Amino acid sequence: MLKNKITQSLLLSAGLAFAATSLTATAAEVPAGVKLAKIQELVRGNGTEVASLDPQKTQGVPESHVIRDLLEGLVNQDANGVTIPGVAERWETTDNKVFTFYLRKDAKWSNGDAVTADDFVYSFQRAVDPATASPYAWYLDMTTMVNASDIIGGKKDKSTLGVRAIDANTFEVTLDSPVPYFVKMMGHTTVKPVHKATVEKFGDKWTKPENFVGNGAFVVKNWVVNERLELVRNEQYWDNAKTVLNKVTFLPIENQVADMNRFLSGEIDFTYEIPNEHFRRLQKEYPESVSIKGDLCTYYYNFNTHKPPFDDVRVRKAISYSIDRNIIANAILGQGQKPAYFLTPEIVAGFNPETPAYGKLTQKERNEKAKELLAEAGYNKSNPLEFNLLYNTSENHKKIAVAIASMWKKNLGVSVTLENQEWKTYIESKNQGDFEASRAGWCGDYNEASTFTSLMEGNNTTGGIHYKSAEYDKLTKDAVKATSEEKRTELYYAQEALLTKDMPIAPIYQYVKARLVSPYLGGYAINNAEDKLYSKDMYIIAE
Amino acid sequence: MLKFILKRILEAIPTMLVLITVSFFLMRFAPGSPFSSEKTLPPQVMANINAKYGLDKPVLEQYVTYLTNVIQGDLGPSFKYKDFTVNELVASALPVSAKIGAFAFVFALVFGVFVGTIAALNQNTWLDYSIMSTAMIGVVLPSFVLAPALIYLFSIDLGWFPAGGWLDGSLKYMVLPVLGMSMLYVATFARITRGSMIETMNSNFIRTARSKGLSFPYIVMKHALKPAMLPVVSYMGPAFVGIITGSVVIETIFGLPGIGKLFVNAAFNRDYSLVMGVTILIGFLFILFNAVVDILLAYVDPKIRY
Amino acid sequence: MLSKTAKVEALNNFSTNLEIEGRSLWQDARIRFMRNKAAMVSLFILFLITLSVIFVPMFSQYAFDDTDWYAMHAPPSVDHWFGTDSLGRDLFVRTFIGGRISMMVGVMGAFVAVLIGTLYGAASGFIGGKTDRVMMRILEILYAIPFMFLVIVLVTFFGRDIILIFVAIGAIAWLDMARIVRGQTLSLRGKEFIEAAHVCGVSKWGIITRHIVPNVLGIVAVYSTLLIPSMILTESFLSFLGLGVQEPMTSWGALLQEGAQTMELAIWQLGFPALFMVVTLFCFNYVGDGLRDALDPKDR
């Protein structure tokens, strides 16, 4: 069901001629018969404190949750993850290289100015401008937008970017190569518009409550770092009439138990996560509040293929095979996580590959196979395999690492030394290649397989750097140039098959997003795979 | 007195300078940078970011620039919280920590000294044992156990207090954090007071006072308490700074926007300027409170000379 | 040497109006410590705990890292006396094995604090003047330096070594102690018996070790028992930064931290390690008090 909806969304947004012309209302749709509460105020747990409210300066998930409410991009998503019109009423393309967006005429900034194509030109240029130093500047480069790469590298002026305002309400983007999922990529935080006059007037301080001008359903009211961020209704928002909530508060609560406690004492309407240990208890005691949705993320272990013992593919395979993914997903996590045999999670739109051969075996058969491979590689009782497993400090990672290490020990007699490091040290160790095997994970930036497959490119992430396969990189290039959807998907499958063959990573499980959600909250988008939750779609039901 | 204060101020300058220098370079030796992340940023993007924050310059030059700015009172922009300067962040966090810290400190001091004295005066009775046993549990129970237990009992079960947040800093938001934070210090003050009080009560001048037939409470209040406070006063400096800055766990669990959390997050994020800013603040507070303690020591025991 | 000791002894006795001759300070202290029942019982219990953390894990039917997917979060039972943790590991054996590092760290932290903190504080307070001021400013700097970075840098340059845990813990353990001892010393410095020793030509070092230190031991004993739990907890923070014991090995601090996460659903995961810590602490406390009473030069 979920799957179909997302496939639909792919067809809609990536359709060749032009898509979605209807003026679907995007705001809260309160079903008939639901009685709304008198006080329409929402409190959301939001993980860590946001680094910035400036869309061109952020890169994290918590930031994108807030900015989604403050600023509206060309496109939005509906409750099922289908890309729907945002500021752009409709769009068209004939070759997937030149995209024309027709902006709605009633879109306004919170100070009353009209939202125009020039605002988007300014914002897109700002994202790649070296002076902005956006950590996500590469995102525009990934769309192959004309000159994006050169502008980031300082070789060309930002005015040469492949964007232009045909008139006040027509915005055109030109790409170097056809990217059929381009429209979908426009839902990302980095490509949200900012108000030029405000940014230029206040500089880095434009996001302060007293200066802020936005075009989303809410505006910033009050921001106390590490305590709360309060948004209130934007009266100027074009669809303001349909917004139900008057106030949204984001609470930065890093500690999952604290998050849960504040929900249970009635201070939060929905949490950011659920502490793993408490999941079963909560499910029993508060079944009406526990909510689980698919998530666009994969959890995996990286092998350093340039260093022994993992320069031997047989060792990599043996180690990967003997991870009992069912135990991890079902017994240890047990919130609906799925065993993973791919880098790309299967929830991704249009991604339905066949499970690789080893995935179809029983765990016992896999263990047998692993033992054979390890023996072939020259490891046995008198010469046991020993290696270090690096992970970043966290209860959850620790638990999984301990569990997997114990599986390896029991099944293969391998002795593993666990090594945890705090986040930045861990990143540094990985980048320096100072590890043998390490934990990794990734969540998609957009709902298309390339957001995952690109991770293993030779120059992209640690995983890629320590894999570096010319064959794989060639497949990536081919996929970008592919002329049809089927062809591209085939190439993604080929990449996944290559990963199964070379095993530079051991996929472990596919995430789910488990939350505590108040039964009095309406409009929570449980079917949105990318976890794009718009507060404007939500409402509080009377008790 | 004035001379003493003046001397302290003069001494503080080289102290702060050494502190800033050591911390600055220590931090740069640590692996990781403010902008490293899971997905390796393309070199050009990284170069742009480093250029914007001046991280492309030699470390020594960065150090000189930083020092020049600090002398002018500018702690620089935060590397992580890009919409704020370090001055703004510290200014918003300090009052919260100070308010909770002050309450917790006063509570710990008064209550700790009180029960410690009671225990000492009833040495080796059931009262002494029960007070000291409770204190011992207070020392052993870390705040990450105590705080969730308080929340579980008073917020979720009884619903008396909110489980976290600060809002305007009104009393109901303060009760649990202050309680959670001060338990360790109540216990510590009680232990120290008891030990010191017993010693004082055994000393000659108290014996003399008792042999003169003065009333017991009078002796305790008038003669014993002041000299017995000596180690308590010595401990006040570390305790106060500890309460104000070292309350990361409490601040995290209760979602308070204080200095402790700011500092630890900054360290984990390698937010260089913010780490330095808070370090400077802690150093300053420590110097200040040690000076206050030294003045208090001289008051408690007038024979003390420096 | 002997004559000097005797002289010092005499001075001590003079200053406290007592007249015991012949027995040395330490002999005397030992006899008095042996007479203290609470301290002796505590010492015995500590001895038992030490033995059991060494030997119990060796004879247990479970290994400390044996996972059991079918007995996760199992409450205490005949099979698992202390229950199991979130991965089905036996908590009985884990509690004992966790005691190894924690006892070591706790005692070590207290020892460093007593040794360095007392001498540093006593020297600073006794010598006074410029020396005192410089020594105290150094203390302030050490206090304010971000400890986390110190640990991270240590780990980066020297790798993960068990010795480093002690270096890191030792580095912070003595700071508060030095402040407290200095305060006491400042007050002692003005006392008659110190001045008398001074007049008799006892060296500064001699005065510090033979007169100042014994007189501050009371507060030192009390404070060092308070330090032990905080050192045990510091160890678990070091693990967080990648220093310290690594899973699947454990410590009381780590067990406590894990237990705190699940106190609503599996109180035994918190209760048993906490119980052991409390008992150990009580014992250290009584031993500390016993030592204090035994060493108190005023009280004989």
**pLDDT by residue, tens only, chain A of 543 residues:** 333 333 333 333 333 333 333 344 446 678 878 888 889 999 999 988 998 999 999 888 899 999 999 999 999 998 888 889 999 999 999 888 999 999 999 999 999 999 999 999 999 999 999 998 888 888 898 888 999 989 998 899 999 999 999 999 999 999 988 888 899 899 999 999 999 999 999 988 999 999 999 999 999 999 998 899 999 999 999 999 889 999 999 999 888 888 998 999 888 999 999 988 888 889 999 999 999 988 889 999 999 888 888 989 999 999 999 999 999 999 888 888 999 999 999 888 888 888 888 888 899 999 999 999 999 988 988 889 999 999 998 888 998 999 999 999 988 989 899 988 888 888 888 888 888 999 988 888 888 888 888 888 877 666 667 788 888 888 888 887 777 788 888 999 999 999 999 999 999 999 999 999 999 998 898 888 888 899 999 999 988
Test B19 with C152 for CB contact under 8 angstroms.
Answer: no
CB atoms within 10 A of CB C189: 20
pLDDT at B106: 92
The separation between CA C78 and the C-alpha centre of its own chain, rounded to angstroms, equals: 35
Residues 6+ apart with CB under 8 A from A330: A337
Three-class SS of residue A231?
Answer: strand
Using a 10 angstrom Cβ sphere, with 0-12 exposed, 13-18 middle and 19 or more buried, the burial of residue A78 is: buried
Contacts of A149 in chain B (CB under 8 A): 44
CB atoms within 10 A of CB B173: 20
- Put simply, the chain A residues between 438 and 467 with a CB less than 8 A from any chain B CB are 440-442, 455, 459-462, 465
Q: What is the rounded end-to-end Cα distance, in angstroms, of chain B?
A: 12
Test C239 with A420 for CB contact under 8 angstroms.
Answer: yes
Residue position matching structure tokens 């192959």: A144
Contacts of A430 in chain C (CB under 8 A): none
Question: Closest by alpha carbon to B151, among C263, A244, C286, A212?
Answer: C263
Q: Cβ distance A438 to A390 under 8 Å? A: yes
pLDDT digits (tens, 9 = 90+) for A207-253: 999 999 999 999 999 999 889 999 999 999 999 988 999 999 999 98
Q: Cβ distance A267 to B254 under 8 Å? A: no
Helix, strand, coil: what percent of chain B each, to 5?
Answer: 75, 0, 25
Test A226 with B262 for CB contact under 8 angstroms.
Answer: yes
Three-class SS of residue C293?
Answer: helix
Question: Closest by alpha carbon to B256, among A243, C179, C217, A227?
Answer: A227
Question: Closest by alpha carbon to C17, among B207, A30, A73?
Answer: B207
Question: Closest by alpha carbon to B262, among B52, B17, B81?
Answer: B81
Nearest CB partner across the interface for A422, out of C160, C240, C258:
C240
CB atoms within 10 A of CB A362: 9
Q: How far apart are CA B165 and CA B171, in angstroms?
A: 12
Test A425 with C155 for CB contact under 8 angstroms.
Answer: yes
Q: How far apart are CA A208 and CA A149, in angstroms?
A: 31
**What are the backbone dihedrals phi and psi of residue A447, each rounded to the nearest 5 degrees, phi first?**
-90, 70
| DSSP one-letter string for A107-134 | -B-TTSPBP-HHHHHHHHHHHH-TTT--
Nearest CB partner across the interface for A275, out of C72, C248, C261:
C261
CB atoms within 10 A of CB A478: 15
Query: Cα–Cα–Cα angle for A98, A104, A109, nearest 5°?
Result: 110
Q: Cβ distance A496 to A344 under 8 Å? A: yes
Length of chain B equals 306
Question: Which amino acid is located at C125 in the chain?
Answer: G
Question: Which amino acid is located at A169 in the chain?
Answer: N
Residue of A nearest to B50 (CA): A133
Q: How far apart are CA A182 and CA A189, in angstroms?
A: 14
CA-to-CA separations, A242 to A28, A238, A531, A538, B239, in angstroms, rounded:
6, 9, 21, 10, 54
Test A395 with C67 for CB contact under 8 angstroms.
Answer: no
Nearest CB partner across the interface for C69, out of A331, A395, A418:
A331
Tokens linked to C216: 């501050």
Three-class SS of residue A511?
Answer: strand
Residues 6+ apart with CB under 8 A from A148: A128, A137, A140, A141, A161, A162
Residue of B nearest to C187 (CA): B304
Question: Closest by alpha carbon to A46, among A237, A258, A210?
Answer: A258
Q: How far apart are CA A106 and CA C142, in angstroms?
A: 61
Count how many pairs of residues, chain B against chain C, have C-beta atoms within 8 Å: 166
Three-class SS of residue C161?
Answer: coil
Domain boundaries, chain C: 36-49+92-299
pLDDT at C3: 52
Residue of C nearest to A399 (CA): C87
Question: Which amino acid is located at B296 in the chain?
Answer: L
Classify residue A455 by its DSSP letter.
Answer: G
Residue position matching structure tokens 């603040």: B281
CB atoms within 10 A of CB C128: 17
CB atoms within 10 A of CB A306: 12
Count how many pairs of residues, chain A against chain C, have C-beta atoms within 8 Å: 65
Sign of the C-alpha dihedral computed for residues A82, A83, A85 and A89 taken in this order: negative
Nearest CB partner across the interface for C298, out of B202, B263, B303:
B202
Q: How far apart are CA A510 and CA C299, in angstroms?
A: 69
Q: Which chains touch A (3 or more CB pairs under 8 A)?
A: B, C
Topology given in CATH for the domain delimited by C36-49+92-299: MetI-like fold (1.10.3720)
User: What does pTM read for this prediction?
Assistant: 0.86
Q: How far apart are CA B143 and CA A431, in angstroms?
A: 36
Question: Closest by alpha carbon to A514, among A335, A266, A340?
Answer: A335
Residue of C nearest to B142 (CA): C233
Residue of C nearest to B152 (CA): C264
Residues 6+ apart with CB under 8 A from A333: A276, A509
Question: Closest by alpha carbon to A10, among A485, A539, A516, A504?
Answer: A485
Nearest CB partner across the interface for A399, out of C86, C155, C160:
C86
Question: Which amino acid is located at A504 in the chain?
Answer: P
Three-class SS of residue A220?
Answer: strand
Q: Cβ distance A316 to A303 under 8 Å? A: yes
| Residue C15 C-alpha, separation from nearest chain B C-alpha, in angstroms | 11
Tokens linked to A522: 């309406």
Q: How far apart are CA B123 and CA C76, in angstroms?
A: 39
Q: Which chains touch B (3 or more CB pairs under 8 A)?
A: A, C
Q: Could you tell me which residues are beta bridge partners of residue A44?
A: A250, A270
| Residue A31 C-alpha, separation from nearest chain B C-alpha, in angstroms | 32
Residue C10: its H or E element: helix C2-15
Tokens linked to A482: 């592919």
Question: Closest by alpha carbon to B101, among B113, B91, B93, B89?
Answer: B93
Test mutation, A398, A416, A429, chain C, max C CBs within 10 A: A398
Q: Cβ distance B23 to B273 under 8 Å? A: no
Question: Which amino acid is located at C175 in the chain?
Answer: L
Strand spans (E) along chain C: none
**pLDDT by residue, tens only, chain C of 300 residues:** 445 555 555 555 544 544 445 566 677 778 888 888 888 898 999 999 999 888 888 888 888 888 888 878 888 888 888 888 888 888 888 999 888 888 888 888 888 888 899 999 999 988 888 898 899 999 989 888 888 888 888 888 887 777 888 888 888 888 888 988 998 888 888 788 888 888 888 888 888 888 888 888 878 888 888 888 888 888 888 887 877 788 888 888 888 888 888 888 888 888 898 888 888 888 888 888 788 777 766 654
Test B255 with A425 for CB contact under 8 angstroms.
Answer: no
Nearest CB partner across the interface for A257, out of C66, C242, C261:
C261
CB atoms within 10 A of CB A159: 11
The ipTM, to two decimals, is 0.86
CB atoms within 10 A of CB C142: 18
CB atoms within 10 A of CB C3: 7
Question: Closest by alpha carbon to A414, among A434, A394, A399, A436?
Answer: A436
Question: Closest by alpha carbon to A499, among A467, A532, A466?
Answer: A467
Q: How far apart are CA C14 and CA C211, in angstroms?
A: 13
User: Chain B contact for A376, CB < 8 A?
Assistant: no
Q: Which chains touch C (3 or more CB pairs under 8 A)?
A: A, B
Test B26 with C140 for CB contact under 8 angstroms.
Answer: no
| Residue C255 C-alpha, separation from nearest chain A C-alpha, in angstroms | 12
pLDDT at C77: 84
Q: Cβ distance C127 to C118 under 8 Å? A: no
Nearest CB partner across the interface for B165, out of A59, A255, A267:
A267
Nearest CB partner across the interface for A406, out of C67, C152, C262:
C67
Q: How far apart are CA C237 and CA C250, in angstroms?
A: 13
